[in-house]
Structure 1
Amino acid sequence: MSPLGGVFGLSTTVHGPFVRATFACVSRLFSALRVPRSPATPADATEARGKLAGALSTLIAQRRAEPTDDLLTALVAARDEGDRLTDHELLMLGVPLLAGGHETTANLTGSFLVELLSDRARWTALVARPELIPSAVEELLRFVPLATVADLARIAKEDLELGGQAIRAGDAVLVQLDSANRDDSVFASADDLDFGRKVNHHVAFGFGAHHCVGAPLARLELRVLLSTLVRRLPDLRLAISAEDIEWRRGGLLRGVTSLPVTW
Structure 2
Amino acid sequence: MKLQIARSTTVLPIAEECARIFMEDYPGDRVFVSGGGSSHGVKAVADGTMGIGTASRDLTDSETEAHPDLAVHAIAMDGIAIVVHPENPVDGLTMAQLQGIYTGEIANWGDISGGDSEIVRVSSKGILRDVSKFFNCGEDSGIMVVSREEGSGTRSYFESAVMKSTGKEITDHAIIQDSNGKIRTTVAGDKHSIGFLSPGYASSDVKTLTLDGVAPSTENVLSGEYAISRTLLMITKGKPDEDEQAFLDFVLSEDGQKIVTDVHYIPVE
Larger helix percent: 1
Normalised to the residue count of structure 1, the TM-score between the two structures is 0.26
Which structure carries more relative contact order (alpha carbon 8 Å, separation 6+)? Answer: 2
Larger strand percent: 2
